[in-house]
Amino acid sequence: MEKKGIALQQLIDSAKLYQKGRYCSALTLAGAAEEILGKIAKKRTGKNQLEDEIEYLKSIYRYFNKPSPSNKELIKRINKTKNEMKHNDKGEDLWVESDFENECVLLFVKAVKNYFDAYNEMPKNKTVMNLFEHLTL
């Protein structure tokens, strides 16, 4: 199956789960789609939404004349909840504290934007586009 189709199915399922208030599962699927589409966008255009977010955060630090964390540290902070949802490497972290709905929204929107960056078109799926428009308008 083409990665574009895989990511689109993940976005569709994420949107449906989000609408049911199942934010943890929706977040995991949106995060998987965001990652797939981000790598495709990076390969095709030289950038992706994660890099745009890093640049935005660095501009905030510059504005306030504060030292900026490294790109690696910013990525770690941006992806903290997504990674906590997918991994428990040490088997010690039994709780995850986060605003799961907000994290889902951020990943879902980034995934759809990565889709556009990768394919120069918006996803042709009503469920995905209805949620994207609801979240961004």
Written in H, E and C, the secondary structure of 26-69 is HHHHHHHHHHHHHHHHHHHHCCCHHHHHHHHHHHHHHHCCCCCC
- For the chain, percent of residues with pLDDT exceeding 70: 96
First to last CA, the chain: 32
**Averaged over 52-58, what is the pLDDT?**
97
| Rg of the chain over all Cα atoms, to the nearest angstrom | 15
pLDDT beyond 70 at 10: yes
Distance CA 46, CA 40 (A): 9
Residue 84 confidence (pLDDT): 85
Task: Kindly state whether residue 120 falls inside one of the protein's structural domains.
Answer: yes
Task: Kindly state whether residue 104 falls inside one of the protein's structural domains.
Answer: yes
pLDDT, tens digit, 9 for 90 and up, residues 84-127: 888 766 667 678 888 999 999 999 999 999 999 999 999 999 99
pLDDT beyond 80 at 45: yes
Task: Kindly state whether residue 29 falls inside one of the protein's structural domains.
Answer: yes
Q: What is the domain range of residue 120? A: 3-47+100-136
Task: Kindly state whether residue 129 falls inside one of the protein's structural domains.
Answer: yes
**Averaged over 31-48, what is the pLDDT?**
97
pLDDT beyond 90 at 38: yes
**Whole-prediction pTM value?**
0.92
pLDDT tier for residue 54 given thresholds of 50, 70 and 90: very high
Residue tagged 């960056």 (tokens): 117
Residue 7 confidence (pLDDT): 98
Task: Kindly state whether residue 85 falls inside one of the protein's structural domains.
Answer: no
For helices 49-63 and 71-78, give the axis angle rounded to 10 degrees: 110
The chain-wide mean pLDDT, for the chain, equals: 94
Q: What is the number of structural domains in the chain?
A: 1
**Averaged over 1-15, what is the pLDDT?**
97
